[in-house]
Every structure is written in C-alpha cells, then in structure tokens.
Structure 1
Amino acid sequence: MVTSAQSFKVSALVVTFHSGPALKECINALCVEQAVSEIIVVNNGNSEADVNWLKAFNPPGHCAYKLVDGHGNIGFAAGVNLAAANATGDRFLVINPDAVLRVHSITRLEEARTSGPSPCLVGGKLIYPSGNEQRGARRELLTPWRAIVTFSGLFVLGNSIPAFRNMHRERDPEPENAIPMPVVSGALCYISKEDYEAVQGFDEGYFLHVEDIDFCRRIGEAGGQVIYTPKACALHYGSTSQVSATFVELNKARGLARYFHKNAKTPLGRLSARASFYAFAPLLVSRSFLIRRLMMARQALIDMTRPKTETPPPSRVRTEQDA
C-alpha cells in the first residue's frame, strides 16, 4: 500500500488553458490525495481571476506547489514536458485540469505500474459526471483504417464484421484488475520519471490531441507496456476549455496526420499520411457540428417535456469527448 510514508514522491502535472471552474476542483482533489507530494501547474492561458487564484493558492502541508507561466499557449505535449522539467518527484501523474481524481487512486496506479516491464505507463478509468465510463481510457492502437472506421461511424458494423471494430473499448466488459491495454488516456496516466525520460517525454510536434496515442506507442516500441486499471479513477468533465470546436478538430486532424506520417514505412505511406489531413479535417469538423446539434436538440426535447413546476438542475454543457 502507498502511504504518507511512501519511499517515492509523486508529482501531479497539470496543463491548463482557460479550463474554467473545473480547474479548482482538479487541484483541490489532488491536495486531498495524500500520496501526491507535489503539484506542478503549467498555465498556458487562463482568465485573470483564475490566474490570480493559481498564484495565491496555498496547498496543504504534505504537498508542494509550483505555478509555471508566462510562456503562452505552447500546447498540451510541450506543457506536460515543461511541467516534468520543473517536477522533483520520482513518479509523474499526468492529469487534465478538468479531471477530479478519486482518493487512493495513486495506490492503485503504483500497484499496476510495478506489475509491468519498464518503461511502463498506467492509465486509469475516466467517468462522466453521471458515473458512466467515458470513452478514451481504453483504446486500440491507431491505424489509418481504424481512424476512418471510428470517426466516420462505420464502427456500427463492428459487431458483425471485426474489421470495423471501433478503436474505443469502453463498451467492452470492464476488467476487474489491471490489464495490458494498447492505448490509455493522457487525461489520467502515471509513469515513473525514469521511464518518462527513457522515452523522451511527449512529442511536442503534437499541439493538441493524439500525443497520448503516440506516447503509448513509443512505450511499447521501447519494450515496455501500457496498462489500464479500473481501480484508479477520475471524474472527467471534458471539453471545458474555452476554445472553438473547429480549432480542436483541426488540431486533432493535424495530430492524426503527424502520427501516421511518423509511423509510415514507405515514401508513399508518408505522402498519404500528409495528405490525410485534408480528409480528416472536414470529417472531424462536420462530425463535431452534427454531434453538437444533436445534443442541443436532445436538451431542447428534455426541456420541453420537463414539468413547468420542476426546477431544472444546474447544467454543464458536455460536448463530444476527445478521441
């Protein structure tokens, strides 16, 4: 068991960009987790009020705290690397600023980490505010075909045709214990400093999205293992940053193109990978638009059918979750 007398230090690495109220929940939850020795917050850009709160934040006695800012929006991958460079811990917990860690999760992450070969990366379970498992924490390794099937909706054929299997595996039966998993989520993952440095951290060529898939792939290529444990968990609000959906989806398309280019084996494959941006960009943007419209229509229908005397609960608009 990990206790307050544990023999290693855990640094929580939080990269934030206009994350809203969830940021405070994230940091306060990390303070409750006694196994977290240090919190490093990289401010890629936030409101004046939130920056003032970050500067004035006073952590509990067991936990050090450092705010790194003044560099502008350098993206998620570069932000995590910057946080790691400022961290003093032996373990790194990478967690999104809109994720609220469940207490004792560090214990479960460390137990899973020690069960795998080095370099070892462990991902935890992500849940919606409703309590249902969120997509992204259990995934197949990405291929061009898998991306097309997943983002086009062709995965609906996956139950009868294995080739159309969705890369997201949250609908599979949940394992009872830690198991190998090709890809886990960068919203909640855990790795030793030694292993992080062995694979040279995140690839800063990714600005937003796909960097975690690339990271998982490089862990495997280095002879290590990626592990998923359902016993470590965080509530993940998702999509709280105040940026346009089009900006997000375009960066996802750029990330996909970079990933496929890096892993292409032939000149034709690399050329096709570069060109794939022009296929994925309109697909992802239109898909995002359609999903948001469907969500708005669903909410409007709920509002219409709710009795007028019923007070609607406070709502947090949830857009599609990241791939």
Structure 2
Amino acid sequence: MSDTTVLSSTTAPFVSVIIVNYNGGDLLTRCVLSALSSQQVEFEIFVVDNASDDTSLATLRTAVGTDKRVQILQNTQNEGFAKASNRPLPQTHGQYLLFLNPDCIIQPNTLHRFCQTLDTHPEAGMAGALVRNPDGTEQAGSRRGTPSPWRSVVRVLHLDKFFPNNPRFKSFVLTQEAMPTTAVPMEGISGACMFVRRQAMEQVGTMDEAYFLHCEDLDWFMRFRQAGWIILFVPTIEVLHIKGACSRRHPIRVLWYKHRGMVRYYRKFFRQQYPIWLQWGVIIAVWTRFAMLLVINSVLRKQ
C-alpha cells in the first residue's frame, strides 16, 4: 500500500496521540497541528497539561477551535511525564498509541506509516522514528542500546573512541553507526516519539510513575523486551525534535530528575548483575556528574 492511499474508516487502525505539555509555548500548537495535518488514519489527540503557566494552552485552543479530535486535560500541578502520559489512557480508543513530545513536529504520513510498520511486524510492541535536530542531524537518542552501568562508564570516559573496534567498549549511543534502510530491532529508541501497540502495553504495563522526568522511557524499553516484544527503529519515518524546549526555564530541576531517574533505573534492572561495590560506585558517579553539571551551569548563568 502506497503512502498516498487513504485507509477506509472500516479498516483503518485507530491511533491515540498523547502529548504531555509543560510550558511548551508555540511549539505545542505546531506539534498538534502537525498531527492534525492530512493524517491518513483515524485518530484522536489528548493533550495533557502539567499546570503550565505560559500561554501554550491558550494558543492551542485558538488554533484548534472546536476540533473534536483534540481533547485537553489539565492537571492542577506538575505530575511528571510518566503520570501525565498515563492519565488519558482509560479514555483512549486506539489500538495504537503515539506518545509524542510537544516540541516534536511530525509529517503528514507519520501515523499511517507507523501503522503499516507494526501491522507488518506483529512481533513488535513499539516503534520509533529517525529523530532529527533542527539542523538536520540525527539526535543522539534516536537509536540506542541499553544504557547499562558499564555502557554509561564507556560513554562518560569516551572509551569507545580509544577502542573503536572492541565490542566490549561499545557506547549505547548508536548515531555513528551506518543508517539502516529498513525497520530494524533496536534496544532503545527516542522517548520523544514512541508508537506503541496497545496489546503490548496491556501486557507490559504503563510507564512507571516513580520516574518524574527522564528514564521512564528506558524503563519501558527494558520491560517491553523482557516481555518478549521487539522494539523497532524505522529510519524511513522522520520526526523533528526541538529538544529541551519545555525544560529551558528550569535546567537545574531537569538535571536533578534526570540523574535521580538514572539511579532508579540502574537499581531496578541491574542490581543483580553487578557487585555491590560497583553499584555504589555507579551511583556515586551519577551524583558526582550532577554536581559537576550544577557547577558548570551556575558559572555559565553568571557570565
């Protein structure tokens, strides 16, 4: 079936798009309008707002008017990404769900092509796109391996540069590897754009709400794979991600949640694989890195 074929309403898979917003500004409206634009399958959009104090919701309401495909849910406080993503699930109807960051722009055929991909790969529980930066380069998290404690050490110390041909020193970021031409299994994709099969999610469970921001996607990837589902990276589907647009106002808080999430992720999935001294070494390294970034950020803000 070509990309220009319009699926009939009787056979089209229904897709539920979930967008969690926190002070996304005008990008939120651009994101929603891109999802509304000429999609070739039936879909609904849920925007969950985490108590934004900017004009993002007002701008969105003006843009979408009374379009019944868009529903806005407002939290009275910032519930975090995972909890906000889970909130609309009881109201969704899609056999597929797209979890999309509000600073992402998708193309008119994105939902259709994701549906085609999972329809032809019943073993896949989730798929991700080739996520690009505004300058056109591939974003670091677009395709990745599992960030185990050892792989994180390799990345922080750049050991992959010293031992480029040794698989033992392979980083979990895979952007330097040759780009595949078709959908391929991947340990991890970008959490900014996750296309999920409902059947798989019902088996695996929803995102772990103990993560507030960051690492809930890594947790999900691990659980999907542990349950026997494949995660696909689809290089023929491209998404623009204007990274960090919703977190620029609170960089220190974002860093805190990111590093706290990494500690939870490591302890949850790798506790039995590493000796206790190495576990504590990794945890100390995580918080040391946070402290260093905190100092760097403070210095830069004073300049």
- Considering the TM-score relative to the shorter chain, is it more than 0.5? yes
Gaps of 5+ in 2: none
Greater shift, 248-257 or 263-272, is seen at 263-272
SS in 2 for 1:45: coil
The partner residue of 2:6 within 3, 7, 29 is 3
The partner residue of 1:31 within 25, 32, 36 is 36
Gaps of 5+ in 1: 298-323
**Would you say the 8 A contact 2:20–2:50 is kept in 1?**
yes
SS in 2 for 1:27: helix
**Would you say the 8 A contact 2:15–2:42 is kept in 1?**
yes
Question: Structure 1 residue 276: deviation in Å?
Answer: 3.9
**Would you say the 8 A contact 1:146–1:164 is kept in 2?**
yes
Q: What is aligned with 1:192?
A: 197
Q: What is aligned with 1:112?
A: 117
- CA distance in 2: counterparts of 1:245 and 1:277, whole angstroms: 21
Q: What is aligned with 1:313?
A: none
- CA distance in 2: counterparts of 1:7 and 1:272, whole angstroms: 50
Q: Is the aligned partner of 1:94 residue 2:99?
A: yes
Question: Structure 1 residue 170: deviation in Å?
Answer: 1.2
Alpha carbons of 1:249 and 1:273: their partners in 2 closer, same or farther (altered >3 Å)? farther
Q: What is aligned with 2:186?
A: 181
Q: Is the aligned partner of 1:203 residue 2:208?
A: yes
TM-score normalised by L of structure 2? 0.86
Per-residue Cα deviation, 1:276-318 (whole angstroms, up to 9, x for no partner): 4432133145358769989xx9xxxxxxxxxxxxxxxxxxxxx
Per-residue Cα deviation, 1:129-158 (whole angstroms, up to 9, x for no partner): 111111101001121011122234443324
- CA distance in 2: counterparts of 1:213 and 1:236, whole angstroms: 18
Question: Structure 1 residue 118: deviation in Å?
Answer: 4.1
**Would you say the 8 A contact 2:23–2:54 is kept in 1?**
no
Q: What is aligned with 2:251?
A: 245
SS in 1 for 2:289: helix
Q: Is the aligned partner of 1:280 residue 2:283?
A: no
SS in 1 for 2:143: coil
Alpha carbons of 1:187 and 1:76: their partners in 2 closer, same or farther (altered >3 Å)? same
Q: What is aligned with 2:221?
A: 216
- CA distance in 1: counterparts of 2:293 and 2:90, whole angstroms: 37
The partner residue of 1:137 within 134, 137, 142 is 142
Taking only aligned residues, the RMSD between alpha carbons, in angstroms, comes to 2.8
Q: Is the aligned partner of 1:164 residue 2:142?
A: no
Per-residue Cα deviation, 1:35-90 (whole angstroms, up to 9, x for no partner): 351110010132342232344553686x6111111341111111111132332222
- CA distance in 1: counterparts of 2:297 and 2:176, whole angstroms: 19
SS in 1 for 2:49: strand
Q: Is the aligned partner of 1:15 residue 2:27?
A: no
TM-score normalised by L of structure 1? 0.81
Alpha carbons of 1:147 and 1:244: their partners in 2 closer, same or farther (altered >3 Å)? same
Alpha carbons of 1:206 and 1:4: their partners in 2 closer, same or farther (altered >3 Å)? same
Question: Structure 1 residue 30: deviation in Å?
Answer: 0.5
SS in 1 for 2:189: coil
2:101 partner letter: N
Greater shift, 128-137 or 91-100, is seen at 128-137
SS in 2 for 1:168: coil
Alpha carbons of 1:70 and 1:290: their partners in 2 closer, same or farther (altered >3 Å)? closer
**Would you say the 8 A contact 2:25–2:55 is kept in 1?**
no
What percentage of residue pairs aligned between the two structures are identical? 25
Q: What is aligned with 1:76?
A: 81
Matched residues, number: 294
Q: Is the aligned partner of 1:264 residue 2:265?
A: no
**Would you say the 8 A contact 1:11–1:38 is kept in 2?**
yes
Question: Structure 1 residue 161: deviation in Å?
Answer: 3.9
